[in-house]
Structure 1
Amino acid sequence: MKVVRSDHASANQRLMSSASISKVSIDGPLDSMPPGPSESVLAQTIRFRLGRQHYLPEMHERFGDVVTLRVVPGGPFVILRNPDHIKEVFKGAPEIFHAGEGNSLLVPIVGRNSVLTLDAPDHKPARKRMMPPFQHERIAALSSVVREITENEVRSWPVGKPFRLLDRSYALTLDIIVRAVLGVEDKHRAAELGRVLRRVSDIGLSDILVWIRPQLGSVWPWRNVVRNLDRADELIYAEIARRRQDPNRSSRTDALSIMLDGEPEDEIVRDELMALLMAGHETTAVAISWVFERLLRHPEVLARVRRNLHEPKDPYRTAVFKEALRVRPVIHNVARRLTEPIELAGYRLPAGVAVLPSIGAVQSDPRFWGADAKEFRPERWLEPNPPLHAWLPFGGGVRRCIGAMFAQVEVEAVMTEVLRSVHIEAVDLDDEGSEMRNITMIPKQGARVRVVRRLGS
């Protein structure tokens, strides 16, 4: 099938757009900013980009709930730990607190029509357009597909041989995206699309250089980044064209078919699909790996989950999901770029500054979670009045992750199907540390496991 793309933005055009958007202009004095470290911009940037899970809590311990970091690109950043301050940001006027600008580095992948990169007034109608695939009854229909895909995935796991569960989780969630979200049923097309989308989403630190300096796109290795983006575009536009011509489209339940109601432009659909890829593939895969990393090191928790696998809904299973995301946050912070000066936490912040709610720091703060704040204890979610205001894995306000419910259903379905199918154990007895990968915080060893035996066979 030939795809005409003359009216679609190319990868190079998106790179140029990203580079221009990500240039920060501070409109106002910085002398009233909150305190922060005296290290060089380079030192702060390296520590923030490569180890913020350790760096940000350390900065809060030194300077308090509000800290200024001088980080490039995009800084200075004002890091927030107090839920009251974070609530002000999440509930603030969307015209002032721009999350799209905070995500501007994602433009080369998700484009300018994505809910991740749009700001007021364009964000609200785009988000409304994205809501139908995530209605409760449609999520319930997708959950059966998730279980089927998980069963097939687990059959490929070797018995007795260690492997990185994170890698298999990436493959699993990408398969779910391609089949349940994009609705691609042809195995050959699904395989090629999966391979290309994985290359696009597998962002290395060096890849980001071409987003900041688009002229690098003509030379190796950044030339491959641009080629992968262009190939992904070609395949996605082809799927959009096929679905438009599908006479049975109105009866399909995949997100792509639902998105085409109202006949939006191809480029808008493309950007929305790529946003779902970025928001629903890597982050969910990392969440799955952390759930099992925690479960397999807490045998009493694992045994309790196993006892209720026959239940379609188990509050304790949900508690495990919430607690794993609390103690091992997939995303350590979100960002809002100020379009106007504001007063926050007693400081005058000028326009252009980015404020970053520190999810990881809030979710491990003993003021809200008690003396055992760093312990993995799912039972806390079954106790009266858990501090929901200090649990922020999906962000908050009008920018809260649109797929939060689907992510929870997906992770719990995967947890259930894996534990029904195999008996697995952690390869390493010690807790796995975490490290930054792209925008996510992953298990340092990839959540290494082995299958001890298959069940029910």
Structure 2
Amino acid sequence: MDLLHSPTSRDARSTARDRLTAWHDRARPPQMSGLPPGPVRIPTAIQTLGLWTMRPSFLRHMQRRYGDVFTVSDLPVGKVVVLCGATDVRTVLRGHPDLYLGGDGNSALGPVVGARSVITLDGHDHRSERKSMIPAFHGSRISAMTTSMEELTRREISSWPFGTSFSLLNRMQDLSLRIIVRTIIGESNPVEADKLTLALRAALPQRLIDLAVWQFPPLAGIRPWRGFLKAMDHADELLYRQIERCRVDPARETRSDVLSMLLDESRDDETIRDGLMSLLVAGHETTAVELAWVFEELLRDQYSLERIHAGLDCDDDPYRAAVIKETLRLHPAIFNVMRRITDDVELSDGRRLRAGTLVMPSIGSVHTDVRVWGPDARRFRPARWFEPQVPEAAWFPFGGGARRCLGSSFALSEIDVVIRTILRSTQLVPDRRAHERQRMHHATVVPHRGTRVRLRSRRG
């Protein structure tokens, strides 16, 4: 048997602590010099706090002070050059993947997604893994998943309370995770799906303090980090159990979930596990965040709400698509990405960055840049997407180039199905008139109160 494509033995599988140690050894940043100016008088700890708790406002403040290119210090990665101009951001996102290493920039996700993840790989390994995963997101496969998405959304709606406000973000996080368990992993048994959903939720960092063990591995032996790593190992155990069940399932050829497709590619178990965790990390939180922002904006915009209701019976209503695109523009779940450059590069202003520099293209900064989107750049206005000169070349909520999000079509389909199902089945109202502010939740930008709503009526 070809060992490369055989099931991975239990003794050979990496644990959460193994992945943590491997990442910590890899994460030591090189010391760079000659970097653009930045807030050198602000202690690194304070800059890190600003990046991880109020990134949009912190980066806007730095941009006003230093311009479109500046340097910040971020624990544990070190010095990072932030790029806020549309030209430089587009150049990096669409540049050659061997010049702008995304896997190196995403290495902080290694303890969760693993070393064989398409998120943390670079070069030939990344291209090969990405190519083999693309068929999982062909249109026909996604279409086969929409019925499950709608069914799970209706089940979620049935649990919402009347009379009291609740966080729609929390509900969307649960729903998005259940959709992944059903459509990506293929678990349809409600009891087993609930077990897996709870285990995966516990294995994902919920608080900023959870990430402290990334920087200080000795914390892994004490609470609460010891329990967090145990939760990751428990989730791995359940994932490997799913892989084993699918491998011997006589009906595997008729299944439409992603796991069955990954097994058809003859991967070993650990590579499949890393692929599943990659899709979970990339598609769970981000999709839930975008759904929360859609309703945060829509429920306070009566005109847009009426327009979108009028097209609910249309599978491809252009106004609903515009609402989704405008939400992704105004509230990209991932405000920025990371890339490590492998050769000297010249920026649009003539400044040169040396090989080895870590750069942070700020997607959120470009998406609200008045020079690109006009004076109402920070206003929710779906109608802009029907205008002839809308700058779609400056819209990249899913990244771009060779590292564009693999599951972007899946995410857009899920967002569309969930919006239609909720609006057809309920009448929701915000619990306050004022818009919710942005705040950071790890790497995502979320509504600061979680889009708190009240259920006024439930239909059908």
TM more than 0.5: yes
- Number of the residue aligned with 2:364: 360
Match of 2:23 among 4, 12, 18: 18
2:39 maps to 1:37: yes
CA distance in 2, matches of 1:66, 1:432: 29
Unpaired runs of 5+ residues, structure 1, are none
* Cα displacement string for residues 382-403 of structure 1 (whole angstroms, at most 9, x for unaligned residues): 1213111211211111111111
AA of the residue aligned to 1:251: T
Question: Given the two structures, how large is their TM-score scaled by the length of structure 1?
Answer: 0.96
SS at match of 1:184: coil
Is the Cα–Cα contact under 8 Å of residues 422 and 455 in structure 1 kept in the other structure?
A: yes
2:438 maps to 1:439: no
CA distance in 2, matches of 1:203, 1:245: 34
CA distance in 2, matches of 1:292, 1:148: 20
1:420-435 matched pairs, under 5 angstroms: 420-435=424-439
SS at match of 2:21: helix
**CA root-mean-square deviation:** 1.3
Match of 2:274 among 252, 263, 271: 271
Match of 1:338 among 337, 341, 345: 341
- Number of the residue aligned with 1:399: 403
Is the Cα–Cα contact under 8 Å of residues 95 and 121 in structure 1 kept in the other structure?
A: no
**How far did 1:449 drift?**
0.4
CA distance in 2, matches of 1:385, 1:280: 31
- Number of the residue aligned with 1:132: 135
Identity across aligned pairs (percent)? 43
AA of the residue aligned to 2:429: E
CA distance in 2, matches of 1:339, 1:112: 20
Query: Comparing 107-116 with 42-51, which one deviates more in the overlay?
Result: 42-51
Match of 2:390 among 382, 386, 390: 386
- Number of the residue aligned with 1:164: 167
2:157 maps to 1:154: yes
CA distance in 2, matches of 1:311, 1:318: 11
CA distance in 2, matches of 1:69, 1:215: 27
- Number of the residue aligned with 2:374: 370
SS at match of 2:11: coil
AA of the residue aligned to 2:60: P
1:313-328 matched pairs, under 5 angstroms: 313-328=316-331
Query: Comparing 199-208 with 272-281, which one deviates more in the overlay?
Result: 199-208
CA distance in 2, matches of 1:11, 1:119: 22
CA distance in 2, matches of 1:42, 1:262: 45
Match of 1:60 among 53, 60, 63: 63
SS at match of 2:440: strand
AA of the residue aligned to 1:353: T
Is the Cα–Cα contact under 8 Å of residues 89 and 363 in structure 2 kept in the other structure?
A: no
2:205 maps to 1:202: yes
**How far did 1:4 drift?**
5.2
SS at match of 1:446: coil
AA of the residue aligned to 2:442: N
2:453 maps to 1:452: no
Match of 1:188 among 178, 187, 191: 191
Is the Cα–Cα contact under 8 Å of residues 210 and 217 in structure 1 kept in the other structure?
A: yes
**How far did 1:193 drift?**
0.7
AA of the residue aligned to 1:397: G
* Cα displacement string for residues 213-263 of structure 1 (whole angstroms, at most 9, x for unaligned residues): 222111111101110111011000000000000011111100101111121
- Number of the residue aligned with 1:347: 351
SS at match of 1:360: helix
CA distance in 2, matches of 1:338, 1:20: 20
Is the Cα–Cα contact under 8 Å of residues 104 and 122 in structure 2 kept in the other structure?
A: yes
Match of 2:10 among 5, 12, 35: 5
AA of the residue aligned to 2:27: S
Question: Given the two structures, how large is their TM-score scaled by the length of structure 2?
Answer: 0.96
